[in-house]
C-alpha cells in the first residue's frame, strides 16, 4: 500500500514547509495547494487521506473548501488551521463537517496526534467497527435506524457531540458506540457522571492535582480528563456542572489543555468530548444556569435519543433481548412473554424508558410460573406521560388526572396549529408518530 497522502492548503511558504517536514517524518506524503481552486483540482485528480486547510486563502474562505469537500470528496477528513483563540470559526468549521481544528502557532505534538487520528479513518487495514449495526443498539423502527446512521456519521468527526433524551433511553450507550465506531476506538472511553461528584471534589477529580497542593493531596493524581488521553471523555448530566467548573471546562475545550491543581503549567491533551443530559440545556442557558459560550462549544453536533413510547414497535425485540440477558445472568431458561403481557407492554407509556422495561421484566420473571410471563405478572396499569407510578393506592386516580392534563395539552396544541398534527407534535416536543399514538390511546377525535 502506498503511504497515506495529505493535502496542505495554505499560501504561506513557511507554514507549508513546516507541515511538509512534519508529515514526511510521519511517513506521509504531503502535497501543497496555495488556493481553494488548486486544492479542488488536486482533490478531483488524486486520492488523499486528509486535507489540512488554512482559513484565509487568496481566492476565498477555508470554510468554503470545507463545504465543497463535504459535497464532492466526503470520504476525505478535513481539518482547519485557525487563528489562536478563534473558537467561533473553529465551531463553524466543525458544524460544516470538519474533522477537527488546530490553532496557530502550530503545536506540533498536537498536530501529529490529529493527523494520526485522521489517517485511521481511511486506513483499510483498520477494519472499521460495525458495532452500531450490531445487537447492542436494538430496534428496527425508523427512529432507531436514523439514530444508527447518525452515530456512524458523527463517529468520523472529532467535533463535540451532545446527546440528549429522557432518563433511561440509553444516552451513555450511544456515546460509547460513537467512540467505538470511530478512529479513537483503541483509546479509553471515560464516562463521568457530573451529578455524582461532590462540588468540592469536582476540580480535583476532573483535572487532577499535584502532591501537597491541598490538605489530603498526599500523592500526584491524574484527573479523569487526562485519563481519557487518546480516547473519549463522556460527561454525563453535564447540566449539573457548577458554573465555576463550566468556566474551567470551556478553557479545556478552547486550549486543548488542562492544568492540574498545584501545577504551574498546562498539559496538552488529545481527547474527544461527548456530553449528555436529560435536561433542556437551551432553557438552562436562558435561566442563567448554564453558560451560553460553553453550550455552543459542547453542542456542535446535537443528537437526540428517542423515548421508548415513540417507538412502540421496538418493544417486542427489546423485551426478547432483555429476557435472554436476564436468563443468562440468573442462570435460568428465560420464560416466554405471553401474548397478553406483550400487548400490555406495547400500550404502556414507559416514563422510565428502556431502563424501566428492564426493571419490569426482571420483576416479572420472579412473579411468573410455568415458563411464561402473563399480564398479571407484570402488573401494569395504563400509565400516562410523566407518571412514574404504575401500582399502589391512588395510582389509578392520579393516572386519570394526568391523562386529563395530557389530553387538554394535546387538544390545545391541535387547536393552535389548526389541527396540523405535524406542527402540533413539534409544539409539544414529540415525534409525529408519538403524537398519533397518544391521540389514539387517549381517545381524542
pLDDT in tens, 184-211: 999 999 999 998 888 888 888 999 888 8
CB under 8 Å to 160, separation ≥6 — which residues? 94, 253, 272, 273, 274, 275, 297, 298, 299, 300, 301
**Which of 331, 322, 360, 318 is closest to 138 using CA atoms?**
318
Q: Are 99 and 116 in contact (CB under 8 A)?
A: no
d(CA 56, CA 36): 10
d(CA 329, CA 323): 10
Instruction: Report the pLDDT value the prediction gives residue 122, as an integer from 0 to 100.
Output: 65
pLDDT confidence of residue 400: 55
Q: Give the pTM.
A: 0.74
Query: How is residue 323 written as a grid cell?
Result: 429476557
In this predicted structure, what is the pLDDT of residue 371? 86
Instruction: Burial-class residue 332 by CB neighbours within 10 Å (0-12, 13-18, 19+).
Output: exposed
Write the DSSP assignment of 209-259 as a string of letters: E-TTSSTT--S-EE-HHHHTTTSEEEEETGGGS-HHHHHHHHHHHHHTEE-
For CA atoms 176, 170, 96, 93, the dihedral sign is: negative
Nearest Cα neighbor of 272 from 120, 88, 65 is 120
What are the residue ranges in the chain where pLDDT is below 70?
1, 122-136, 215, 218, 379-403, 445
Reported as type and span, the H/E element at residue 325 is helix 315-330
Q: At 81, is the secondary structure helix, strand, or coil?
A: strand
Asked if 235 and 275 count as a contact pair (C-beta separation under 8 A), the reply is yes
Q: How many CA atoms lie within 13 A of 413 on its CB side?
A: 21
Which strand (E) or helix (H) includes residue 143?
helix 142-154
Amino acid at each position: 500500500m502506498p503511504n497515506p497522502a495529505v493535502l496542505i492548503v495554505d499560501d504561506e511558504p513557511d507554514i507549508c514547509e513546516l507541515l511538509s517536514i512534519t508529515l514526511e517524518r510521519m511517513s506521509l506524503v504531503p502535497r501543497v495547494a496555495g488556493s481553494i481552486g488548486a486544492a479542488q483540482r488536486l482533490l478531483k485528480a488524486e486520492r488523499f487521506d486528509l486535507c489540512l486547510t488554512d482559513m484565509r486563502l487568496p481566492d476565498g474562505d477555508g470554510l468554503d473548501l470545507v463545504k465543497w469537500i463535504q459535497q464532492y470528496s466526503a470520504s476525505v477528513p478535513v481539518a482547519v488551521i485557525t487563528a489562536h483563540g478563534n473558537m467561533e470559526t473553529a465551531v463553524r468549521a466543525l458544524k460544516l463537517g470538519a474533522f477537527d481544528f488546530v490553532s496557530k502557532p502550530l503545536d506540533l505534538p498536537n498536530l501529529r496526534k490529529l493527523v494520526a487520528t485522521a489517517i485511521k479513518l481511511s486506513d483499510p487495514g483498520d477494519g472499521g467497527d460495525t458495532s452500531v449495526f450490531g445487537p447492542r443498539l436494538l430496534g428496527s423502527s425508523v427512529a432507531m435506524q436514523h439514530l444508527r446512521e447518525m452515530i456512524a456519521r458523527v463517529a468520523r468527526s472529532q467535533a463535540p457531540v451532545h446527546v440528549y433524551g429522557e432518563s433511561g433511553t440509553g444516552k451513555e450507550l450511544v456515546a460509547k458506540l460513537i467512540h467505538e465506531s470511530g478512529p479513537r476506538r483503541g483509546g479509553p472511553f471515560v464516562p463521568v457522571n457530573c451529578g455524582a461528584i461532590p462540588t468540592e471534589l469536582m476540580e480535583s477529580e476532573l483535572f487532577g492535582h499535584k502532591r501537597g497542593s491541598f490538605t489530603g493531596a498526599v500523592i500526584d493524581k491524574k484527573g479523569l480528563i487526562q485519563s481519557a488521553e487518546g480516547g473519549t471523555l463522556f460527561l454525563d448530566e453535564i447540566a449539573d456542572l457548577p458554573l465555576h467548573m463550566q468556566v474551567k471546562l470551556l478553557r479545556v475545550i478552547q486550549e486543548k489543555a488542562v492544568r492540574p491543581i498545584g501545577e504551574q503549567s498546562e498539559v496538552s491533551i488529545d481527547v474527544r468530548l461527548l456530553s449528555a443530559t436529560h435536561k433542556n440545556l437551551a432553557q438552562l442557558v436562558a435561566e442563567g444556569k448554564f453558560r451560553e459560550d460553553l453550550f455552543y462549544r459542547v453542542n456542535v453536533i446535537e443528537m437526540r435519543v428517542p423515548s421508548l413510547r415513540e417507538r412502540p414497535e421496538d418493544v417486542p425485540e427489546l423485551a426478547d433481548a432483555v429476557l435472554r440477558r436476564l436468563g443468562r445472568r440468573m442462570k435460568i431458561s428465560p420464560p416466554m412473554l405471553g401474548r397478553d403481557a406483550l400487548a400490555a407492554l406495547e400500550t404502556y407509556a414507559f416514563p422510565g424508558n428502556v431502563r424501566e422495561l428492564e426493571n419490569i421484566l426482571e420483576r416479572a420473571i420472579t412473579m411468573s410460573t410455568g415458563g411464561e410471563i402473563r399480564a398479571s405478572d407484570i402488573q401494569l396499569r395504563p400509565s400516562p406521560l410523566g407518571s412514574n407510578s404504575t401500582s399502589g393506592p391512588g395510582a389509578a386516580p392520579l393516572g386519570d388526572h394526568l391523562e386529563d392534563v395530557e389530553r387538554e395539552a394535546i387538544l390545545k396544541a391541535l387547536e393552535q396549529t389548526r389541527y396540523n398534527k405535524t406542527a402540533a407534535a413539534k409544539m409539544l416536543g414529540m415525534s409525529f408518530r408519538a403524537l398519533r399514538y397518544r391521540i389514539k390511546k387517549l381517545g381524542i377525535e
